[in-house]
Structure 1
Amino acid sequence: MRALLVVNPKATTTSERSRDVLVRALRSAVNLTVEYTTRRGHAATLARAAAESGVDVVVTLGGDGTINEAVNGLMTARVALEGISGPMANALPALAVVPGGSTNVFARALGLPRDWVDGTSVILEALRDGRHRVIGLGRADDRYFTFAAGVGLDAAVVRRVEQARLRGRKSTPALYFRSIVGQFVVGGDRKTPPLSIERPGEPTEVDLGTVVVQNTAPWTYLGDRPINPNPEASFDRGLDVLAMRRLAVTSTTRTLAQLATRKGGPHGKQVLHLHDQDEFTVVASRPQAFQLDGDYLGERQKVRFVSVAQALRVIC
């Protein structure tokens, strides 16, 4: 079995020594090639080339951003589909993820341990047993995502966190909380919510201040605490949505408190939930922050979201 290990050398929870241990462990099970990323988007290029060369498994060591790039590389590879039975995922290399980031939402949503050593053990056992899972993905315009996307306040907070990390700050729950408070204080969309959601055959949902899209649950973690706007979101169904109609101080504070404490997701007249959606479009009256899998991608005025069923095989 041929495998490619894509390593983000800046992964926050691993060291050079631990990477060497991982490489030796994987080489005991597969014919392994190792590549290190050197720039943004490099993991996508490496994964795409691996798929097109017939590699069986792509393994990532990094955080959710590295995984997202690798997934997009796999999903955009030109692979031969002739003779493939079942879902498109059967034509692509399987994906295995070793958690190496600060949050590791995707790996934890798959049920993998947080620790990279324990995660590697699970992957090795699954490779020996031939065990995998086929999952669905989300797609926003031409880019895929594994667990979540956001337009508006959610993405603006991600932008603030990325800016703080570029200044040398560590990604912690406290940093995210301060970023939420800071963005809410300076945000200018509370009185005139700019977002709407258009769905085929359904009335348009208007006057929305922020939109969170989930492909699985939870949406994210604050340390060990899962944050679950849509607890029924699943890799096996369509996309789930949480939107807030207005970002008034009282209602937003209530919703944030519910996110932190409730297992059933927030509720209230300012909260909109959509479950198991095949497709919809978020439209903004002016450019809004946009993020996929915790990676800030700039501002957009229109994003079409699609659920892609049975898209990828995952070793877990």
Structure 2
Amino acid sequence: MRALLVVNPAATTTSARTRDVLIHALASDLKLEVITTEYRGHARDVGRAAAQSGDAEMIIALGGDGTVNEVVNGLLHNGPDPDNLPGIAVVPGGSTNVFARALGLPNDPVEATGALLDALRQGSSRTVGLGLASGTPGSADEGAPSRWFTFCAGLGFDAGVIGRVEQQRERGKKSTPALYMRQLMRQFVGEEHKRHGTITLEQPGEEPITDLVASIVCNTAPWTYLGNRPVYAAPHASFDTALDVLGLARLSAPAVMRYGTQLLTSSPERGPHGKHAVSLHDLTGFTLQSQAPQPFQMDGDHLGLRTSVTFTGVRRALRVIV
């Protein structure tokens, strides 16, 4: 099988020596071409070229969730067609690796490579759904490019936390659960709308849901991991359905403590709940509108401020070797 391996040399949990070992192991079973990314967006460009040329039967992303997101967006530049696109495989090399772990892969890159080789020998794959975020027609963000996400997106509080974490990582800080917790508290202190949110969720034929401070969109469960602990914002989200949403309408100090505790103790059966929490399941299309610009993130990548984003849940969008 002809395969293209896209390697992020800045992946946080793999060394150059480890990557060499993984490349050697993959090359023993595959006709392997290796491309090392050199700039932000490079993996997307590689994925797009691979989809257009048809030279590779499979693309393997060796890196974190950001690398996977770029490869997926390149592959799906002209839209989903899992029967006519290269399959994608993932070797986790980032700090969290939500997409890979949600697929059931080991978080260790060596073990994940072994699992991938086993899947290839058995001809094992599955087709998963994805989320698509676009600029809303008629809004200030109408011209924002559409972008696919594999496991989550968010407008509001959680995206602000991710933006703060990215700033710290650019200053050389290591991505750890403790770093996320510190930035969460700083985001809370600086949040202007914690008692009365500015975000409205609109979906066709339904009453709008108003005054949200945080809106977390999930394409699968868990939402994220704190170390080895899975965190479920929307426990019923699945790669086999459309999108789930958790909206929080108040983030006072008691509410943060309550929802934070519920997230830390969440399970596949139960996530955050309460008077100011809204949970929606299997939505194929909806829009998040905000009265004021809010931080926006997709797959853990902070994308700046937005006032309006339209979401589409697309079933059977991508074939994954697993």
Q: Is the contact made by 1:52 and 1:77 (CA closer than 8 Å) also made in structure 2?
A: no
State the secondary structure of the residue aligned to 2:314: strand
In structure 2, how many angstroms separate the alpha carbons of the residues matched to 1:129 and 1:48?
27
Which residue identity lines up with residue 293 of structure 1 in the other structure?
D
Cα distance in structure 1, aligned partners of 2:195 and 2:105: 42
The 2-side partners of 1:256 and 1:132 are apart by 36
- Say yes or no: does 1:176 pair with 2:190: no
Cα drift, residue 92 of structure 1: 0.8
Taking only aligned residues, the RMSD between alpha carbons, in angstroms, comes to: 1.0
Superposed displacement of residue 77, structure 1 = 4.5
The Cα shift of 1:249 comes to 1.7
Query: What residue is the counterpart of 1:292 in the other structure?
Result: 298
Aligned partners of 2:78 and 2:242: how far apart in 1?
23
Where 1:298 maps in the other structure, the secondary structure is strand
The Cα shift of 1:126 comes to: 0.9
Please give the residue correspondences for 1:60-71 in structure 2 after superposition, counting only pairs within 5 Å: 60-71=61-72
Distance 2:310 2:149 in 1: 13
Q: How many residues align?
A: 308
TM-score normalised according to structure 1 size: 0.96
Q: Aligned letter for 2:115? A: V
Q: Does 1:209 align with 2:210?
A: no
Structure 2 Cα separation of the partners of residues 191 and 114 of structure 1? 38
1:208 counterpart letter in structure 2: L
Distance 2:178 2:232 in 1: 18
Distance of aligned partners of 1:77 and 1:30 in 2 relative to their CA distance in 1, 3 Å threshold: farther
1:128 matched residue in structure 2 = 121
1:59 partner amino acid: I
- Counterpart selection for 1:218 from 211, 216, 222: 222
Q: Secondary structure at the match of 1:193?
A: coil
**How far apart, in 2, do the equivalents of 1:255 and 1:115 lie?**
30
Deviations 1:71-92 (A, max 9, x none): 00001158xxxxxxxx821111
Task: Please give the alpha-carbon distance, in whole angstroms, between the structure 1 residues aligned to 2:74 and 2:275.
Answer: 41
Amino acid at match of 2:53: S
Alignment partner, residue 256 of structure 1: 260
Question: 2: distance between equivalents of 1:33 and 1:308?
Answer: 30
SS of alignment partner, residue 217 of structure 1: coil
List per-residue Cα deviations over 1:122-174 (Å, max 9, x = no partner).
Answer: 11111111110100000111100000000000000000000000111000000
2: CA distance, partners of 1:295 / 1:175: 16
Decide whether the 8 Å contact of 1:131 with 1:315 is kept in 2.
yes
User: CA separation in 2, counterparts of 1:192 and 1:271?
Assistant: 13
Q: Greater shift after overlay, 160-169 or 250-259?
A: 250-259
Aligned partners of 1:262 and 1:46: how far apart in 2? 38
Is 2:14 the counterpart of 1:14?
Answer: yes
Confirm or deny that 1:25 pairs with 2:25: yes
1:109 aligned to which of 102, 115, 135: 102
List gaps (5 residues or longer) in structure 1: 79-86
2:122 partner letter: D
SS at match of 2:240: coil
Q: Deviations 1:165-215 (Å, cap 9, x if unpaired)?
A: 011100000000011101001111124311000000000000111100000
Q: 2:246 touches 2:280 (CA, 8 Å); kept in 1?
A: yes
TM-score of the pair, normalised by structure 2: 0.94
- Residues in 2 aligned to 1:207 and 1:312: alpha-carbon distance in whole angstroms: 34
> Runs of at least 4 residues of structure 1 off by over 3 A?
none
Partner SS state of residue 83, structure 2: helix
Deviations 1:90-138 (A, max 9, x none): 1111000001001111100000001000000111111111110100000
Where do 5+ consecutive residues of structure 2 fail to align? 135-145
Q: Does 2:45 match 1:45?
A: yes
AA aligned to 1:107 is A
The match for 1:232 among 231, 236, 261 is: 236
Query: Which residue pairs with 1:303 in the alignment?
Result: 309
Partner of 2:165: 161
- Which deviations, in whole Å up to 9, do the C-alpha atoms of 1:212-259 show, x marking residues without a partner? 000000000000111101111000001000000122221222111111
What is the identity, as a one-letter code, of the residue corresponding to 1:290?
F
Is 1:279 paired with 2:246? no
Contact conserved, 2:195 with 2:249, CA < 8 A, in 1? Answer: no
Aligned residues of 1:49 and 1:77 also touching (Cα < 8 A): no
Question: Which AA in structure 1 matches 2:58?
Answer: V
Q: Is the 8 A contact 2:6 2:34 kept in 1?
A: yes
Instruction: Report if aligned partners of 1:213, 1:241 keep a CA contact under 8 Å in 2.
Output: yes
CA–CA distance in structure 2, aligned partners of residues 48 and 3 of structure 1: 15
Q: Distance in 1 between matches of 2:131 and 2:94?
A: 21
Structure 1 distance, partners of 2:175, 2:320, is: 27
